[in-house]
Structure 1
Amino acid sequence: MSQAISREERIAAEWACERLVKQFAQLNDAQDHDGIAALFVEDARFSRPLAPEDYFEGREAIRAMFRDRPQRLALHIMTTILIEPTSATTARGRCYLMYVSNSDASAAQPAPVEGAPMYGQFDDEFVLTGEGWRFSKRRGSVVLKG
């Protein structure tokens, strides 16, 4: 850590950043593009797991990417979330991702999974803003694919 923070600040940061990770998954699955964009700072960087070096730069570009991609019935299952505060206003983290989907966004449920699950991770950077903790950088990557 670059500066000392209290136990309470550490716990609050870990909780808030872990909550962002979980919100991202649920908002993504609900196709709530505005909600997803609100989790990021204005100048954030985001890359999808299938294209980890292809960043979308800025909140509006992130919103547009989610809005304009083909819609699918999907579940993003985030697990093994570990957050490390690096100061009173910054943190980094990693979570593992399992992704399953069906190309028919309106498929009757339970819908069959198309293809094999994808397993990956997100490496995150967080910053505390006047609106609370937000993603400043989110880099996805695929680790295993069926």
Structure 2
Amino acid sequence: MTIPGRLEDEAACARLCVDFANHLDARRYEQVLDLFTENAALDRMGNVSAGREDIARFLAARPADVTTRHVCSNIRVSFDAASEDEAGGVCYVLFFQGTGEAGTGAAQLSGPPSVVEYHDRFLRTAVGWRIRSRRIRMAIRA
């Protein structure tokens, strides 16, 4: 793998982290699902959704009166020596949650922010890099 190619791969994986947060916060759930492989796993602090259909059920169950913002930082992507098509990643996420119907003005903050970590496995597919698995773990709770 060339250095420019590896940098492009790293940027594509990092973009998945940011796109996940932006699409989730904007409730663009079809776009969220497109970031995952068909058989992906999403582990939200022990609550595991297996496959896109299960992830779709989790997304559909998110309360309409809760507004979230996920601020991603310290994104680190590392590539497997054995495969050019697999990578791992860690991302710190500052998480804010408020109440109030989306689109009706600023939500009321429902508590102090927390920090979670995304622990990811990425896979290069025919349509580009996708999230094969994401483990979300609490790092700092208020």
Q: By percentage of residues, which structure has more strand?
A: 2
1:25-50 Cα shifts (integer Å, max 9, x gaps): 000000111110110000000012xx
CA drift of 1:108 comes to 4.3
Normalising by structure 2, report the TM-score. Answer: 0.91
The whole-number CA distance in structure 2 between the counterparts of 1:145 and 1:30 is 24
The whole-number CA distance in structure 2 between the counterparts of 1:102 and 1:78 is 18
Give the aligned partner of residue 99 of structure 2.
Answer: 103
> Could you list the runs of 4 or more consecutive aligned residues of structure 1 that deviate by over 4 angstroms after TM superposition?
none
Give the aligned partner of residue 60 of structure 1.
Answer: 53
**Matched pairs, number:** 139
The whole-number CA distance in structure 2 between the counterparts of 1:55 and 1:12 is 30
CA drift of 1:102 comes to 1.1
Gaps of 5+ in 1: none
Give the aligned partner of residue 70 of structure 2.
Answer: 76
Alignment of 1:1-146 (within 5 A): 5-48=1-44, 52-71=45-64, 72-86=66-80, 87-106=83-102, 108-146=104-142
Q: Which structure carries more relative contact order (alpha carbon 8 Å, separation 6+)?
A: 1
Gaps of 5+ in 2: none
**Identity value in percent:** 28
1:35-77 Cα shifts (integer Å, max 9, x gaps): 10110000000012xxx22210001111121112213211011
Q: Closer, same or farther in 2 for the Cα pair 1:107/1:7, shift >3 Å?
A: closer
- CA-based RMSD of the aligned residues comes to 1.3
